[in-house]
């Protein structure tokens, strides 16, 4: 037996739930009843916003760190290539 619930929001505080119980084959029972959603408190919503803001700030910081690290690596790579090339030509000229 499978149970499926669909919730259609009518407005902010209330919604309708469509419950479908499938017993198999043609026999399907559809029940329609009203579900009242709990309203979220201001402190709860504020806490969610603060968490979302902190996670976004952290992800931006990590992206910046990644960019800075890539820049540092590219500068080091450039310096190493210059040293390698200078050694190559120094040995070739001898």
Which domain does 55 fall in, by range?
42-94
Question: Residue 43 has what pLDDT?
Answer: 93
Whether residues 73 and 94 share a domain: the answer is yes
Whether residues 61 and 32 share a domain: the answer is no
Location of structure tokens 């290539």 = 81
Q: pTM above 0.75?
A: no
Whether residues 93 and 54 share a domain: the answer is yes
Question: Residue 39 has what pLDDT?
Answer: 84
| Confidence band for 74, pLDDT divided at 50, 70 and 90 | very high
Query: To the nearest whole percent, how much of the chain has pLDDT over 90?
Result: 44
Domain count for the chain, please give it. Answer: 2
| Confidence band for 36, pLDDT divided at 50, 70 and 90 | low
Question: Residue 88 has what pLDDT?
Answer: 76
């Amino acid at each position: 037996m499978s149970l499926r619930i669909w919730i259609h929001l009518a407005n902010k505080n209330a919604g309708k739930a469509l419950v479908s119980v499938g017993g198999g084959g043609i026999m399907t029972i559809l029940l329609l009843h009203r579900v009242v959603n709990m309203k979220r408190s201001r402190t709860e919503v504020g806490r969610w916003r603060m968490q979302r803001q902190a996670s976004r700030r952290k992800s931006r910081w990590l992206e910046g760190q990644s960019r800075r690290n890539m820049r540092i690596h590219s500068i080091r790579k450039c310096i190493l290539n210059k040293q390698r090339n200078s050694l190559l030509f120094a040995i070739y000229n001898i």
